[in-house]
Amino acid sequence: MSSTIDPGTAVPTQTTEQRDRRPPEQLVNQAASASGFGTPHRPARGHGYEQRGLAYLPVSQLFEGRFGRMFRLPPFVPSPERIAEITAVMTEDQAAADPTLNNDTIPAGYTYLGQFIDHDLTFDPASSLVRQHDPDALTSFRSPRFDLDCLYGRGPADDPFLYDKRPGREDMFLIGHHDDEDDLPRNEQDTALIGDPRNDENTFVGQLQLTMLKLHNAVVELVRADAGLRRGSETVFEAAQRIVRWHYQWVVVHDFLRRTVGDEMLASVLDESSPVPRVDARYYQVRSSAPYMPVEFSVAAYRFGHSQIRGRYSLNTLVQDVPTFQEGSTSDPDKVLRQFGGFRRLPPGWTIEWRRFFEVEGEGDGPIQFTRLIDTKLANPLAKLPVEIGGDRPSLIDRNLTRGARLALPSGQDVACAMGEQVLTDDELELPGGGPAPLWYYVLREAKVRAGGKHLGPVGGRIVAEVFLGLLTRDPSSYLRNDPAWRPFLRTAEDGSFGMPQLLEAAGHGLGVTATP
């Protein structure tokens, strides 16, 4: 249900269907039912995991809850046939090694940092993943925050299995070790003992989780050596936790978000010209005391990272040019070590060399890898996920489009109109047959047309920036609320900045050359 702009006027013309301005919760049931969309179960682990409360959003009478809406616009629910048409044109048709597809402003590691951040925001320790009726899912939930719950769980008292109880290592995380390499701590069946099981779903996010565990442990040592780092009545653990969280939050805003939305968009939402930064959130408005997660963000705009995934990666000096996924790879012993799937013990010789994924100084040689450009083309392996991941719906493209339809998202054109942004034309969108664009597709295509694929465009960029900064300002424990003049101190670059490279150096993991096992 897109809008079109008449020449010489800024007022969208609307079809008869569009004039039905009933809110989405009144329209979605009939539309979704007619399109054949149900409410399927999701696995407890893996990228298909659906958060508690998400399936109930369309029929909610509330603006907010665990999930909510930034815009009250008519839903666009494409048919399964239309979804199949769009899916067919979204697979990358060029060789995975084609350098013209690289985004040389965003190294490859930021794709998986984005995944780690997503898991942090959507952590749900009370989730019942197959529950069909849950009235509390709409209004009673743990607030989405950049607080590293995926790392700390519920703390040493409630989740003691995450922490090291050996003398002298109190307040530290347990680190696994085997085959002369560090790994996530695991039980005897190789299940990772971590705050969020999704952070073991692939090698890259697993190595990020391990890096953050080591960062906390390093900060504990600093706090023990310098009592001045503790505030008020903080314990050693509490001080280390705060320091790690604030450094992480700084990276999220000043490194990850800046690269994702561009300098201009970040500056338009976050004004840091005065000692107390100001956030200008025009569309992410929170009416209740607790923030919510907009579906325009979680189901569309923030899924830009899927287009950044490369079809193959070189992990370190030993593990070179390996497919991201292979069909049947998690069940076939001959293929299990030829892909980067997770939920397994780290294979010998598979410690990551971060210099291949971030602009960090490290030993050895070999070029840095970059993300793919943000556009409507996804790497070939994502169109045919292994059955263990994709089940009977192997295309990640199809899964994303179907989820957006089932949750009754508005079209990209309608969202652009609501934001006062110039709407992409049919020629610019390059959709088969033209017409309304699913919001996820629109955000990806806008990035390509408006920013050359280097970062998100004005619609996608503002949604992501406002949600990130809105959540941070609503978090009473964030640096932005507690101490807006605070600055990172663990390590800084020569120009005084602090980003993911400096965080990795402070953690000390993945900076050497992986030796032959």
Question: What CATH number is associated with residue 414?
Answer: 1.10.640.10
Would you give the DSSP letter of residue 443? H
* pLDDT of residue 290 exceeding 60: yes
Q: What percent of the chain has pLDDT over 70?
A: 80
pLDDT at residue 50, rounded to an integer: 55
* pLDDT of residue 132 exceeding 50: no
Contacts of 137 (CB under 8 A, 6+ apart): 52, 53, 56, 65, 66
Q: What's the CA gap between 309 and 382, in Å, rounded? A: 9
Structure tokens that stand for 506 in this block:
């402070």
pLDDT at residue 40, rounded to an integer: 45
* pLDDT of residue 138 exceeding 50: no
Query: With bands split at pLDDT 50, 70 and 90, how would you rate the model's confidence at 354?
Result: very high
Tell me the residue range of the domain where 374 lies.
Answer: 4-360+367-478+490-507
pLDDT in tens, 440-459: 999 999 999 999 999 999 99
Q: Is the residue at 326 inside a domain?
A: yes
pLDDT at residue 267, rounded to an integer: 98
- Residue environment code for 198-223, b if the CB has 16+ CB neighbours within 10 A, otherwise e: bbbbbbbbbbbbbbbbbbbbbbbebb
pLDDT at residue 17, rounded to an integer: 37
Contacts of 195 (CB under 8 A, 6+ apart): 123, 149, 150, 151, 152, 153, 159, 162
Query: With bands split at pLDDT 50, 70 and 90, how would you rate the model's confidence at 8?
Result: very low
Q: Is the residue at 515 inside a domain?
A: no
Would you give the DSSP letter of residue 256? I
Residue predicted with more confidence, 453 or 13: 453
The average pLDDT across 262-273 equals 97
The average pLDDT across 272-301 equals 91
Structure tokens that stand for 328 in this block:
């049947």
* pLDDT of residue 140 exceeding 70: no
The average pLDDT across 234-255 equals 98
* pLDDT of residue 57 exceeding 90: no
Query: With bands split at pLDDT 50, 70 and 90, how would you rate the model's confidence at 6?
Result: very low
The average pLDDT across 267-271 equals 98
* pLDDT of residue 103 exceeding 80: yes
Query: With bands split at pLDDT 50, 70 and 90, how would you rate the model's confidence at 99?
Result: confident
Would you give the DSSP letter of residue 372? E
pLDDT at residue 55, rounded to an integer: 55
CA distances (Å), origin 375, targets 84, 295, 445: 18, 20, 5
CA-based end-to-end distance of the chain:
57
Query: With bands split at pLDDT 50, 70 and 90, how would you rate the model's confidence at 394?
Result: confident
Element (H or E) spanning 418, and its range? helix 412-418
Q: Is the residue at 483 inside a domain?
A: no
Type of residue numbered 65: G
Please count the structural domains in the chain. Answer: 1
Contacts of 273 (CB under 8 A, 6+ apart): none
* pLDDT of residue 27 exceeding 70: no
pLDDT in tens, 199-231: 999 999 999 999 999 999 999 999 999 999 999
Q: Is the residue at 513 inside a domain?
A: no
* pLDDT of residue 139 exceeding 80: no
Q: Is the residue at 100 inside a domain?
A: yes
Q: Other C-beta atoms within 10 Å of 112: how many?
A: 24
Q: Is the residue at 330 inside a domain?
A: yes
30-39, 124-133, 140-149, 288-297 — most confident range: 288-297
Chain mean pLDDT for the chain? 85
* pLDDT of residue 53 exceeding 80: no
Residue predicted with more confidence, 184 or 392: 184
The average pLDDT across 474-503 equals 93
Q: Is the residue at 496 inside a domain?
A: yes
* pLDDT of residue 517 exceeding 90: no
pLDDT at residue 384, rounded to an integer: 80
The answer to whether the beta carbons of residues 370 and 107 sit under 8 Å apart is: yes
The average pLDDT across 33-61 equals 52
pLDDT at residue 453, rounded to an integer: 98
The answer to whether the beta carbons of residues 317 and 517 sit under 8 Å apart is: no
Query: With bands split at pLDDT 50, 70 and 90, how would you rate the model's confidence at 494?
Result: confident
The average pLDDT across 217-246 equals 97
Residue predicted with more confidence, 384 or 454: 454
Give which of 270, 402, 394 is closest to 329, Cα–Cα: 394
Q: Is the residue at 404 inside a domain?
A: yes
* pLDDT of residue 118 exceeding 60: yes
Query: With bands split at pLDDT 50, 70 and 90, how would you rate the model's confidence at 60?
Result: low
* pLDDT of residue 95 exceeding 70: no
